[in-house]
Amino acid sequence: MVTKTKRTQTKNGTAKPAPYRIKDVSELTGVSRETIRFYINEGLLPPPEKSARNMGWYTERHIELLHLIQKLQREQFLPLKAIKSLVHGSSDFEFTAQQEGVLAQIRHQLSFGSRGLLPSEKPSAIARDLGLTRKELKEFSEIGLSLEKDATVSDIEVAELWTKLKKNGLSEDRGFSPKDLGYLVELVDLAVQQELRLFEKKIQMMSPDEGSRLSEIVIPTLSRVFAILHERRLGMFIQRYLEQRAETRAPKRSATATARGKAASQKAAVRKATTRRARA
């Protein structure tokens, strides 16, 4: 139940639209308080108005923007950086009408994929079955992944993969938590921006059939290429690191062996001289 809202007065005495506390906004939109604060920090939402007691008050504009962000995430699968550009009307992209048609087709096809659907069970029940703590749920919200009533199948899939990571070494005991996945969110945002830029510059005309293949074949293929390059780069880095370590350690072993050999030779010489003196 939404609490009683506060009404403020302008200088000319007219009433402003009643603002809300963050608890009210969360209840009205289904977005957690942590996620709301995250959006404010990322610039997707304007800061709340502050009262004399430093209490934050939110307006209808905040609620409208939250509904819009949810819609863009759920229906168009846009990264937060792209949503920020759209919300504030400062998109750097200028697509042609034909390109916009292809993008709409891709959006439509992606929205019918299993990852865009809503889960059949309540997200809270799924989170409980996965053994996720309140801290983990909070951190998921902070990196833009929802495990609340507006969660999608893709959100649940990420949570399941996180539990798999925990069971295989990336445990809380070692200091790992969902916020450590934040760098992947940033990489995805960067990749999407670059992909849209390439699409804008290099694909001026595309048939509906090509548009279908773009979402059904090209996008999954690019994701696979990324996975291959990631594993390859990681392997190359580890190999170079181990080779460099071996090179830096090799001279130390050689110097140590030389010193030991010299000491042994000196001891042998002393024993030999002692034996000769004894015989004389």
Domain boundaries, the chain: 1-92, 93-206
Task: Give the ranges where 30-172 is alpha helix by DSSP (H).
Answer: 33-42, 60-76, 80-87, 97-111, 123-129, 134-142, 153-167
pLDDT cut 90: percent of the chain above it: 25
Q: Is the pLDDT of residue 156 over 50?
A: yes
- In terms of Cβ atoms closer than 10 Å to its own Cβ (0-12, 13-18, 19+), residue 254 is exposed
User: Helix, strand, or coil here: 77?
Assistant: coil
The pLDDT assigned to 1 comes to 45
The pLDDT assigned to 71 comes to 77
The pLDDT assigned to 24 comes to 92
**CATH code of the domain occupying 1-92:** 1.10.1660.10
Please, which pLDDT band fits residue 256 given cuts at 50, 70 and 90?
Answer: low
Please, which pLDDT band fits residue 167 given cuts at 50, 70 and 90?
Answer: very high
